[in-house]
């Protein structure tokens, strides 16, 4: 291809790229020079940031950052990481022209000449305010639920992994079982079963029934940290993801010892290691 033809092809390609970028309105796509000054501006940037091109071209992109982030040098750090690693990606608060904040997903790519010299940066910003609000709402909901569960002291309420390892531990579990969270997290819930029930594989059977039927319920003997026995109502519910796969189990145990007065003496069958009834 002759030089003139290559030049025309390049102009045609640049023109198509410009048409493509200008047609994108749901995200801001623009160029920065090596110092972070804005050198191009698309309609998506105008819609998202609120600035016309004539108001922002030639200004430093740090204008969109919060005062706290500017004082912490985050704009300069972002460019330095993009230059060093070939890409910078982050989420955080950004500021529109009218002063309103929005939660942004930001990607910055370095632009280099064929010989490798840094010529500037391509920056893509998307408004993730709705996604951020949804995540925050979920976090708050989970925190409220955690506080609710931690406030329950009459029941041991905790989560198990698919294989039975203890993942969470509430105040009721500490009161009923006698273990602090640091003593049981990561251990298998089989430690609460009598030796005979462990030998008979009852813990694994309980999880298998819960996985198959969605729930396992029983009244049985369990063992506290100090070795004493308690009569308990036990419920295990299977937890599945959106595709139906088991992701763990929710386990609730209620101590019936006081109300039923069923604790055996030290020479009773449970204390001697005999299997507890299934029910």
Q: What pLDDT, in 10s, does the model give residues 154-186?
A: 899 999 999 999 999 999 999 999 999 999 999
- For 156, other C-beta atoms within 10 Å of its C-beta total 25
Query: Where is pLDDT greater, at 165 or 135?
Result: 165
- For 164, other C-beta atoms within 10 Å of its C-beta total 18
For residue 216, CA distances in Å to 68, 152, 212, 235, 253 come to 52, 21, 9, 6, 12
Strands (E), the chain: 27-32, 88-95, 101-112, 118-127, 155-160, 215-223, 229-240, 246-255
Residue with tokens 């950004």: 94
For domain 3-132, give the CATH number: 3.30.450.20
Q: Point out which residues pair with 233 in neighbouring strands.
A: 219, 254
* Of 35, 18, 13, the residue nearest 120 (C-alpha): 35
Superfamily of domain 152-260: PAS domain (3.30.450.20)
CA 248 to CA 150: how far, in whole Å? 19
* All CATH 3.30.450.20 domain ranges in the chain, comma separated: 3-132, 152-260
Q: Are 249 and 159 in contact (CB under 8 A)?
A: yes
The angle formed by the CA atoms of residues 146, 193 and 151, to the nearest 5 degrees, is 20
CA 245 to CA 241: how far, in whole Å? 5
Has residue 221 got a pLDDT over 60? yes
* Of 126, 118, 96, the residue nearest 36 (C-alpha): 118
Has residue 272 got a pLDDT over 50? no
SS (H, E, C) 105-136: EEEEEEEECCCCCEEEEEEEEEECHHHHHHHH
Q: Are 159 and 251 in contact (CB under 8 A)?
A: yes
Q: Are 50 and 96 in contact (CB under 8 A)?
A: yes
Q: What's the pLDDT at 261?
A: 56
Kindly report the average pLDDT of the chain as a whole number: 86
Q: Could you report the per-residue pLDDT of 225-248, keeping only the tens digit for each?
A: 999 999 999 999 999 998 999 999
Q: What is the mean pLDDT of residues 3-15?
A: 47
Query: Which ranges of 168-252 would DSSP assign to H, the alpha helix?
Result: 171-177, 181-184, 195-199, 202-213
pTM above the 0.95 mark?
Answer: no
CA 207 to CA 185: how far, in whole Å? 18
pLDDT tier, 24 (very low <50, low <70, confident <90, very high otherwise): low
């Amino acid at each position: 291809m002759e030089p003139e033809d290559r030049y025309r092809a390049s102009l045609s390609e640049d023109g198509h790229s410009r048409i493509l970028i200008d047609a994108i309105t749901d995200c801001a796509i623009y160029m920065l020079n090596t110092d972070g000054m804005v050198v191009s501006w698309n309609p998506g940037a105008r819609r998202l940031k609120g600035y016309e091109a004539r108001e922002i071209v030639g200004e430093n992109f740090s204008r969109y950052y919060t005062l706290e982030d500017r004082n912490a040098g985050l704009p300069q750090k972002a460019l330095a990481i993009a230059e060093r690693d070939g890409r910078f990606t982050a989420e955080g608060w950004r500021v529109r022209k009218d002063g309103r904040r929005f939660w942004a997903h930001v990607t910055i790519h370095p632009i280099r000449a064929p010989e490798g010299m840094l010529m500037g940066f391509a920056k893509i910003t998307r408004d993730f305010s709705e996604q951020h609000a949804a995540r925050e709402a979920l976090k708050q909901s989970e925190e409220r639920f955690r506080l609710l569960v931690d406030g329950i002291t009459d029941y041991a309420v905790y989560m198990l992994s698919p294989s039975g390892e203890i993942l969470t531990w509430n105040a009721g579990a500490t009161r009923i079982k006698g273990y602090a969270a640091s003593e049981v997290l990561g251990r298998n819930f089989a430690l609460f079963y009598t030796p005979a029930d462990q030998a008979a594989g009852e813990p694994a059977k309980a999880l298998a029934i819960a996985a198959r039927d969605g729930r396992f319920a029983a009244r049985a003997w369990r063992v506290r940290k100090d070795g004493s026995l308690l009569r308990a109502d036990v419920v295990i519910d299977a937890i599945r993801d959106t595709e139906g796969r088991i992701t763990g189990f929710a386990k609730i145990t209620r101590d019936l010892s006081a109300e039923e007065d069923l604790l055996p003496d030290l020479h009773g069958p449970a204390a001697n290691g005999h299997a507890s009834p299934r029910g």
